[in-house]
């Protein structure tokens, strides 16, 4: 007669088997429910924020507030197809947070597809736990702090994982559905941020190549494998190339936009990549194009409005005298920056190691896939630190790629014969779980901090009290747009009309605002118009005053109308000195 403990174990086993059968019968529905619940928990507990001020700026463009008079599709960093879609939604409902909802929806879809690929590839309840570790260790931060580059990279990663899942066991119909879904996610990645898509494609080369070599040596139906790879790669290239070319054509066909890419690319070499420096040795280069040191500072500070002074031809001439890439010669500093980024990404490294030791050691191809993806990401990250100046929002989603690949490849069975591996697995699991309270608490506090900053921002806007007949220049990133909450009602910004001295400078948005207020010259408009004001910090203001003296022979003075002690900016009225 079976003991009571045996009966309980058998009942538990039967329940587990029945549940597994139901999950595998409807894996997509199960994935949707799990991810939906996780998102609801995160959205209920954590304050959603923007990671940088780029996203609030793009949101304001499609919403028709701030720098634009009406909803517009030219969202600069994202494809105009995304702009058309969001513009249409804002036209229907102006104050609904469509931009933030769109990015959150893409990440939701990516997580649903990713969980579906994980449980379809190799199902086990341990792998569900792995996914939860990934979600709370990686994805939670991304959906609590929205950023379009991160959304693009996460969508692209999902596309790669869907394709890898399509190469596993399953029907041909299921396989082709997954391939099409993978192509769709990669196209979305490209539409949201083209460079994010490029980065995912580059970093995925090792796992795609090794998987092809592994499969081609095992299966008899080699034509089918070659066909799947061919369709996946060619369709992705064709669709993304078409979207990129349409975006470029759409900008180029408009006379007001056709110089945007050229100027934007050139200023990026100065500002973003720091290729150019002004010193005693390089001064003759600037003298050739008629730039003073103050002119160079104005360009580097985003106030490069005059296309006679800062013409593309002059920019190109200056750039031609400098190397195309500036290597950070202090390798010790490069390694220090690299180690700092890795240290900030410790949870990614812990999760990667934990998932990797749960890969079946007998399947050495999977270990090589995970390891090669890790090495590729590390190499590219080091290269970018060496040659480029990129923010953390690029590195963190990059590192998540080797985590997603290792999780996807992890074995269904958590038991191992080698005792040291089993012990290491337990130790890593405990360490990861122990880090979660601290990291989640930090994310929670950061959200509350930004919510508090948002409260102060609204108070300061009320104190400035802008009206629809006033215009404000915002110089660089001085105005804290990043504290505009993604799901906030933006009606309080409707009277705050702006011209951004930023990457949006040489666009029709600026031209239309100038026409609206009768301004023919951005520099002189500040002191010729009584209803035009400058929002800047005290460090940049002297450079504007010097620029006016050098190029216009005019002396101006400023009056401080308002100072923000919270955010460090002041509102100035510029007046001509008689």
Q: List per-residue pLDDT tens for the chain, 578 residues long.
A: 556 666 666 666 666 667 777 777 888 999 999 999 999 999 999 999 998 888 998 998 998 888 888 899 998 889 999 999 999 999 999 888 999 999 999 999 999 999 999 888 777 788 899 999 999 999 999 999 999 999 999 999 999 999 999 987 667 888 999 999 999 999 999 999 999 999 999 999 999 999 999 988 877 778 889 999 999 999 999 999 999 999 999 988 888 787 777 888 899 888 887 789 999 999 999 999 999 999 999 999 999 999 899 999 999 999 999 987 665 556 777 788 888 888 888 899 999 999 999 888 777 888 999 999 999 999 998 888 887 766 666 788 889 999 999 999 987 555 555 677 788 888 999 999 999 999 899 999 999 999 999 999 999 999 999 998 999 999 988 888 889 999 988 778 888 999 989 888 888 899 999 999 999 999 999 999 999 999 999 899 999 999 999 999 999 999 999 999 899 899 999 999 96
Q: Are residues 297 and 428 in the same domain?
A: no
Residue 6 lies in a domain: no
Same domain, 195 and 285: no
The beta-carbon contacts of 229-237 under 8 Å, at least 24 apart in sequence, are 231/179, 232/163, 232/179, 232/182, 232/183, 235/183, 236/159, 236/183, 236/186, 236/187
Q: Is residue 1 part of a domain?
A: no
Check residue 325 and give its pLDDT: 67
Do 242 and 113 fall into the same domain?
yes
- Quickly count: other Cβ atoms within 10 Å of residue 259's Cβ: 15
Q: Give Cα separations from 13 to 8, 19, 190, 367 (angstroms).
A: 8, 10, 45, 31
Comparing CA positions, the residue from 173, 157, 245 lying closest to residue 207 is 157
- Of 422, 445, 468, the residue at which a domain comes to its end is 445
The pLDDT score that the predictor gives to residue 220 is 74
pLDDT of 24:
77
Residue ending a domain, choose from 445, 477, 511 = 445
The answer to whether residues 219 and 364 belong to one domain is yes
In a domain, 503, yes or no: yes
Q: What is the pTM of this model?
A: 0.90
The residue written with tokens 């031809």 in the block is 313
Asked if 376 and 401 touch (Cβ cutoff 8 Å), the reply is: no
Structural domain boundaries, residue 294: 276-320
Residues 232 and 215 occupy one common structural domain: yes
Tell me, yes or no, whether 554 lies in a domain.
Answer: yes
Together in a domain, 216 and 365: yes
* Residue 157 covered by a domain: yes
Same domain, 304 and 366: no
Both 225 and 340 in one domain: the answer is: yes
**Does residue 5 lie in a domain region?**
no
pLDDT of residue 113: 96
Distance of CA 178 to the CA centre of its chain: 25
List the beta bridge partners of residue 571. 535, 562
The answer to whether residues 343 and 482 belong to one domain is no
Decide if 267 is inside a domain.
Answer: no
Structure tokens, 368: 């090589």
State how many domains the chain has.
Answer: 3
Instruction: Give burial (CB, 10 Å; 0-12/13-18/19+) of 438.
Output: exposed
Gap between the Cα atoms of 185 and 158, Å rounded: 7
Q: Is there a single domain that holds both residue 403 and residue 519?
A: no
- Asked if residue 152 and residue 203 are part of one domain, the reply reads yes
Boundary (domain end) residue, out of 404, 426, 445: 445
Nearest to 537 by CA among 494, 493, 473: 473
Q: Is there a domain that residue 65 lies in?
A: no
User: What pLDDT is stored for residue 244 in this prediction?
Assistant: 96
pLDDT of residue 149: 93
Same domain, 226 and 292: no
For position 7, what pLDDT does the model report?
64
The rounded distance, in Å, linking the Cα atoms of 104 and 96 is 14
């Amino acid at each position: 007669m079976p003991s009571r403990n045996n009966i309980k174990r058998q009942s538990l086993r039967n329940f587990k088997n029945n549940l597994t059968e139901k999950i595998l019968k409807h894996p997509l529905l199960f994935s949707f429910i799990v991810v939906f619940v996780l998102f609801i928990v995160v959205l209920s507990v954590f304050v959603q924020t923007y990671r940088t001020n780029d996203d609030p700026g793009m949101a304001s463009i499609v919403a028709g507030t701030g720098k634009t008079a009406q909803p517009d599709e030219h969202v600069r960093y994202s494809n105009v197809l995304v702009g058309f879609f969001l513009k249409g939604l804002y036209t229907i409902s102006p104050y609904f947070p469509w931009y933030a909802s769109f990015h959150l929806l893409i990440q939701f879809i990516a997580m649903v597809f990713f969980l579906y690929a994980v449980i379809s590839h190799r199902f086990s309840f341990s792998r569900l736990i792995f996914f939860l570790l990934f979600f709370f260790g990686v994805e939670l931060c991304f959906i609590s702090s929205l950023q379009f580059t991160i959304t693009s990279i996460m969508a692209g990663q999902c596309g790669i994982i869907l394709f890898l899942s399509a190469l596993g066991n399953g029907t041909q119909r299921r396989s082709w559905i997954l391939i099409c879904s993978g192509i769709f996610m990669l196209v979305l990645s490209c539409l949201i941020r083209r460079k994010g898509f490029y980065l995912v494609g580059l970093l995925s080369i090792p796992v795609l190549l090794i998987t092809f070599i592994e499969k081609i040596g095992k299966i008899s139906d080699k034509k089918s494998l070659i066909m799947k790879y061919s369709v996946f790669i060619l369709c992705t290239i064709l669709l993304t190339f078409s979207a990129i070319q349409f975006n470029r054509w759409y900008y180029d066909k408009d006379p007001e936009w056709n110089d945007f890419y050229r100027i934007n690319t050139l200023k990026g070499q100065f500002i973003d990549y720091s290729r150019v420096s002004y010193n005693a040795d390089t001064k003759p280069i600037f003298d050739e194009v008629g730039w003073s040191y103050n002119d160079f500072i104005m360009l580097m500070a985003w106030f490069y409005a005059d296309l006679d002074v800062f013409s593309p031809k002059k920019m190109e001439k200056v750039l031609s005298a400098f190397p195309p890439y500036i290597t950070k010669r202090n390798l010790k500093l490069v390694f220090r920056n690299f180690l700092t980024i890795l240290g900030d990404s410790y949870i990614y490294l812990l999760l990667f190691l934990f998932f990797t030791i749960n890969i079946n050691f007998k399947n050495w191809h999977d270990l090589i896939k995970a390891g090669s993806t890790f090495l590729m990401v590390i190499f590219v990250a080091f290269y970018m630190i060496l040659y480029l100046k990129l923010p953390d929002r690029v590195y963190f989603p990059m590192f998540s790629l080797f985590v997603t690949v290792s999780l996807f490849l992890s074995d269904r069975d958590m038991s191992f014969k080698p005792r040291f591996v089993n012990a290491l697995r337990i130790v890593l699991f405990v360490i990861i779980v122990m880090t979660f309270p601290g990291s989640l608490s930090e994310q929670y506090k950061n959200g509350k901090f930004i919510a508090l900053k948002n409260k102060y921002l609204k108070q300061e806007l009320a104190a400035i009290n802008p009206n629809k007949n006033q215009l404000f220049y915002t110089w660089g990133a001085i105005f804290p747009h990043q504290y505009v909450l993604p799901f906030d009602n933006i009606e309080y910004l409707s009277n705050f009309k702006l011209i951004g001295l930023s990457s949006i400078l040489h666009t029709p948005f600026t031209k239309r605002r100038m026409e609206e207020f009768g301004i023919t010259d951005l520099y002189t408009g500040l002191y010729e118009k009584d209803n035009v004001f400058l929002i800047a910090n005290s460090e940049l203001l002297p450079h504007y005053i010097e620029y006016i003296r050098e190029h216009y022979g005019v002396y101006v003075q400023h009056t401080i109308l308002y100072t923000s002690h919270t955010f460090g900016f002041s509102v100035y009225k510029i007046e001509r000195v008689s």
